[in-house]
Amino acid sequence: MKEKVVLAYSGGLDTTAIIPWLKENFDYEVICCCIDCGQGEELDGLEERAKLSGASKLYIENIIDEFCDDFIMPCVQANAVYEYKYLLGTSMARPVIAKRLVEIARKEGATAICHGATGKGNDQIRFELGIKALAPDLKIIAPWRMTDVWTMQSREDEIAYCKAHGIDLPFDASHSYSRDRNLWHISHEGLELEDPALEPNYDNLLVLGVSPEKAPDEGEYVTMTFEKGIPTSVNGKSMKVSEIIATLNELGGKHGVGIVDIVENRVVGMKSRGVYETPGGTILMEAHQQLEELVLDRATLEVKKDMGNKFAQIVYEGKWFTPLREAIQAFVESTQEYIAGEVKFKLYKGNIIKAGTTSPYTLYNESLASFTTGDLYDHHDADGFITLFGLPLKVRAMKMAEVEANK
């Protein structure tokens, strides 16, 4: 009886060519597993393609709600942003994909999991760290790193390989952007983006929306509500998180929100340039932060910013299934108890403009904040506070003056 391998299958040329390659070189029974994180029409026609390529079975696993509730929202609540701009769209999806691949491998009695990530990117790390953490006994096959066996180096090579194995597929050798899509975002790499000196060709590149220049000339108001840091409605309509993100994607895309051009530091040591479209995610992150501004005290917010940066690094590096991620997430969740209220903003040509935020737990006190303070604040109290707060500075300045005088 042949050993089984579970292949993380996208339906693209790379993973399609891997199917006959696995059978030819390892004599595996290949079970394809396509994880639906919100790729949309990219899933069309996958079953026929997988079977045509030699797979014995194809799973199409819809994990959109799990992705949103258990992986996206912890990152939103942590305000996890990698290197100032990247909202972790691909990074967040990899651990939930790895988790489901392991579950299918266990169900099928497979001995290995295969992925099509290259040896130069972050995804190989994210997939494999997830698999190692959840199923250390399973073998991991990464064809692009097995250069003694995987001899294909281009799309032309892969197409020729498929044809030689009787697989005629609707792919051509024309080069295009390398993209990764899920409900949260779509990433773009390649072509002119490989040169940071070149401006992105947004007319050819954008998928989820338009550039700010092509957005409507009139802004649009949006209202959201939150409970315990979780979004609960958009414009008065209650929805689950996945529906809220989909709704915000439409609104944000329409108004050119969430387009980021970034040169980031990959885990493997190189810099890479990409453009990310995250229209709904950008809005959701901003709305959540607006509530936190009202509700969290200064000391908690200060520590939470540091924890958010660390959380982003952990997720980016593929270390989701670690005690450190769990510990930081527990801290973050404890800060979300009172993150509730309503956020209103206007979307206009790539901008998210505040239009009013309210919360039953707001720490903003109008009488304290106004120039005509009430009983809670006496201006004279500031004298003693500043004296003590500035005492180390004064003592040091006096000592330095003494040292200078004694020279």
Instruction: Cite the active site residues.
Output: 14, 94, 123, 178
CB contact at 8 A, 135 and 105: yes
The 10 Å Cβ neighbour count of residue 344 is: 17
Which bin fits 39, alpha (ψ -120 to 50), beta or left (φ > 0)?
Answer: alpha
* Residue (of 147, 192, 195, 188) closest to 21 by Cα position: 147
Q: Cα(391)–Cα(326) distance, rounded to whole angstroms? A: 40
Strands 57-62 and 29-36: parallel
Tokens linked to 315: 């997720």
Alpha helices in 173-214 (DSSP H): 202-205
Distance in angstroms (rounded) separating the CA atoms of residues 156 and 281 = 36
What are the backbone dihedrals phi and psi of residue 227, each rounded to the nearest 5 degrees, phi first? -135, 125
Give, to the nearest 10 degrees, the angle between helix 89-108 and helix 298-316.
50
Name 305's Cβ contacts closer than 8 Å, sequence gap at least 6: 79
User: In a 3-state reduction of DSSP, which class is residue 280?
Assistant: helix
- The answer to whether 120 and 87 have CB atoms below 8 angstroms apart is no
Q: Which residues contact 230 (CB under 8 A, 6 or more apart)?
A: 73, 77, 241, 336
Look at the alpha carbons of 125, 131, 132, 134 in this order and tell me if their dihedral is positive or negative: positive
Quick check: helix, strand or coil at residue 207?
Answer: coil
Provide the token pair at 29: 């029974």
A 10 A CB-CB count for 118 gives 15
